[in-house]
Amino acid sequence: VLQLFDVPELFGLSYTQSLWLVVWVVGIIGAIYAIFGGLRAVAVSDTLNGIGLVFVGFLVPVLGFITLGDGNLLQGMKTIATVQPEKLNAIGSSTDAVPFFSIFTGILFANLFYWSLNQYVIQRVLGAKDLKEGQKGVLMTGFLKLLVPIFMLIPGIIAYHLYGNTLTSGDLSYPQLITELLPVSLMGFFLAVLLGAVFSSFNSLLNSIATLFVLDIYQPVFAKEASDEHLIRVSKWFGTIVALISFVIAPFLMYAPDGLWSLIRQFTGFFNIPILVIVLMGIFMKRIPAIAAKIVIVFHVFAYYLFVFGFKQLFGWDHGISYIHGYGILLVIEVLFMVFMGYRYPAVQSKKVNRRQSVELIPWKFAIPVSILLCTSIIWTYVLFSKIGLASTAGIVSMWFWPVTLGLAIATIVLWRVSLNAWETKYRIYLEEEYRQAE
């Protein structure tokens, strides 16, 4: 917004003052319909914003390719694939902010927490009418996630080829592309979609944190017999307070030394791994004592601080290990500790959970097959953006690209058929009952 409308010049303000102005204006608008509209307003707005984001997400790189190729779309695509193709390599080295192997040591677990345990994300799934619809929504979102390289990374590479090193910051590349490539008639639409994306994240977070506070803290501790109307009223007040606090904090994030993404990842590391460990061990080991979970949470906060910040700040020692690897290291330590506590000091009696069958819990027939397709698509995306694929110096792609693609396709077909047969075998009785009802 600052770049597209040149807010500092428009209002005669400094960059910092303009940032504060935009944060408060955008935040207040988003908070109003998140707090008073509830989850339904968030879900409806997210759907509309998502459609707009997909449209603009494809439009920007297409226009960029056409501009880069002097009016020829294919020529523009060829340019980024043959001129400095190493910039298309997604396989990060050990010196990058996100080393490639951190996918298997830390990113995997961070994303497992984000997609499976984060109320901010799963509240949509919990609102599905049954298990099948929830699974369909999650899997569709997974495929949309595969579009991120097209929507976010490719425009940055196009900007590099168009503007070189004239941009003072990489954060300015996307606004520069929008300003120069989009016709005036689409600028308003793009702004609406951009603000919608901002609202989507902010509104979902407000709705989520208000829900957690009211149901997990306020009601159990202070108002066990409170009515739904009272809880909703409290959640609105709490959401308003959180929104005001976020308005004050948000402008200071521009001073993040390694970028906002890295800062968020670093600070979410204080809670994502211990929560994941506790939930996983609760699923697989029923006799772990409650004290083990409490110890893990306290231990992780201090150990993670030392690993990421403490050793360097307190002792002047830089171990040179990425904080993302720290996720995996601490996860292993905490899992082993909880397993030890489960065997050495087992809980006397596991708490029995009474499940309310308020929705149908028969899984979607194609949940596992589509999951397999999604996994192989992720692998293929990494192959595409690697030295085997578009980052190859031997041409547009290397000689290994098509055999690897064929192998992934065959593996997908085989696993699809096997998983489908397994589902039909497991739920044969359910299928026979459906068939009889249909008759």
Residue 395 Cα to chain centre, angstroms: 33
Q: Are 18 and 7 in contact (CB under 8 A)?
A: yes
Q: How many residues does the chain have?
A: 439
Per-residue pLDDT of the chain (439 residues; tens, 9 = 90+): 566 666 776 677 777 777 777 778 777 777 776 666 666 666 677 777 778 778 888 888 898 899 888 888 888 888 888 888 888 888 877 666 667 777 777 778 888 888 888 777 777 787 778 888 888 888 988 898 888 888 888 888 888 888 877 766 666 677 778 878 888 777 777 777 777 777 777 777 777 788 888 888 888 888 777 787 888 888 888 888 888 888 787 777 666 656 566 677 778 888 888 989 998 888 888 888 888 889 999 999 999 888 888 887 778 777 778 788 888 888 999 999 999 998 888 877 655 555 555 666 778 889 999 999 999 999 999 899 888 888 888 778 888 999 999 999 999 999 999 998 888 887 776 666 665 665 5
Q: What is the C-alpha separation between 377 and 437, in angstroms, rounded? A: 37
Q: Is the dihedral of CA 349, 351, 357, 363 positive or negative?
A: negative
Instruction: Say what the pLDDT of residue 110 is.
Output: 81
**Count of C-beta atoms within a 10 Å radius of residue 8:** 17
| Token representation of residue 354 | 């009474």
Q: What are the backbone dihedrals phi and psi of residue 24, each rounded to the nearest 5 degrees, phi first? A: -70, -40
The secondary structure of residue 222, as a DSSP letter, is H
What gap in Å lies between CA 124 and CA 42, rounded to an integer? Answer: 9
| Number of neighbours of residue 407 by Cβ within 10 angstroms | 12
| pLDDT for the residue numbered 345 | 84
DSSP notation for 287-309: T--HHHHHHHHHHHHHHHHIIII
d(CA 273, CA 297) in angstroms, rounded, equals 9
Closest CA to 36 of 240, 219, 197: 240
What the block records as the tokens of 110 is: 């961070």
DSSP character at residue 99: -
Dihedral of the alpha carbons of 409, 414, 420, 423, in degrees to the nearest 10 = -120
Q: Give the Cα separation of 426 and 154 in Å (integer).
A: 44
